[in-house]
Amino acid sequence: MPTGANNKKKYTYIWVSAIILIFGIFAVYEITKRVKGGTVVENDRMSVPLKNTKVGFVVNQGEKRRVPDFSFYNQDSVLITNEDYLGKVYVVEFFFTTCPTICPVMTKNLVELQETFKGDEDFGVASFTINPRYDTPSVLTKYAKKYGITDEDWHLMTGNQDKIYQLAQEGFYIFANEDQDAPGGFEHSGMFALVDKKGYIRSRKDEFGNPLIYYRGTITEEQGVNSDGETQQITILKEDIKKLLAE
């Protein structure tokens, strides 16, 4: 092959390599910028479509669903009502301290949210025990210490069992029931509800345009997917909390 052809081929390789290098540097820069900006999330690789990220209202019979009135004592024996949460974005759960199955994972996920929004006075958690006969304020205090619950706006509440069950089933449509055949003697949903600053229950929509209504609380971000093929929703819950905090 003539010398001129060799030189031409050599320069072609140099230009191709330069272009690849430039695009590589740009890609690394973009990824680094997104990491620093906090925009690289699990949804970059999970199945939840990003186009459905608007946090809409949960509607029932044409009415926006609001949290009903409630009044229970927290782990510090302080009376807490729904009005104490007005002006805050908060997550609701129903649990019990002796739960041997899903509750520890749910609490771990809520502690993750606590750390994510640490220092934000407009964020809170409302945890209602479905075993109030055992879960007294002193028991709830020990539970809080065990799991590192430190947020002053995270109230673990106890009180009349019938009223708590009514709040769960009629207020949030979250299942809770005493069942001696269930692990720990109680059966309940592992879902979280999200409430905005005005007391409305909020949710994003799924890929089919239907509201999620609830967020899975029994799968961690680290786990990703459970044995049933269900995807964790703590990442999208974090995103939706941020959106509601900014409203």
Q: Which residues have C-beta within 8 Å of that of residue 148, sequence separation ≥ 6? A: 111
Q: Which of 174, 194, 191 is nearest to 90 (CA)?
A: 194
Q: Which helix (H) or strand (E) holds 194?
A: strand 191-195
142 and 96 Cβ atoms separated by less than 8 Å: no
Q: Residues 131, 143: contact at Cβ < 8 Å?
A: no
**155 marked among binding-site residues:** no
Question: What is the gyration radius of the CA atoms in the chain, in angstroms?
Answer: 24
99 among annotated binding-site residues: yes
- Other C-beta atoms within 10 Å of 107: how many? 24
Q: Give kind and range of the element (H or E) at residue 242.
A: helix 234-245
The reply, when asked if residue 35 is annotated as ligand binding, is no
Task: Write down the H helix ranges in 38-182.
Answer: 103-116, 137-147, 161-166
What is the C-alpha to C-alpha distance for residues 79 and 141, in angstroms, rounded to an integer?
15
Find the largest Cα–Cα distance for the chain.
Answer: 94
Which residues have C-beta within 8 Å of that of residue 81, sequence separation ≥ 6? Answer: 69, 70, 71
Side-chain-facing half-sphere of 55: CA atoms under 13 Å: 23
Binding site per annotation, positions for Cu cation: 99, 103, 188
Binding-site residues sit at 99, 103, 188
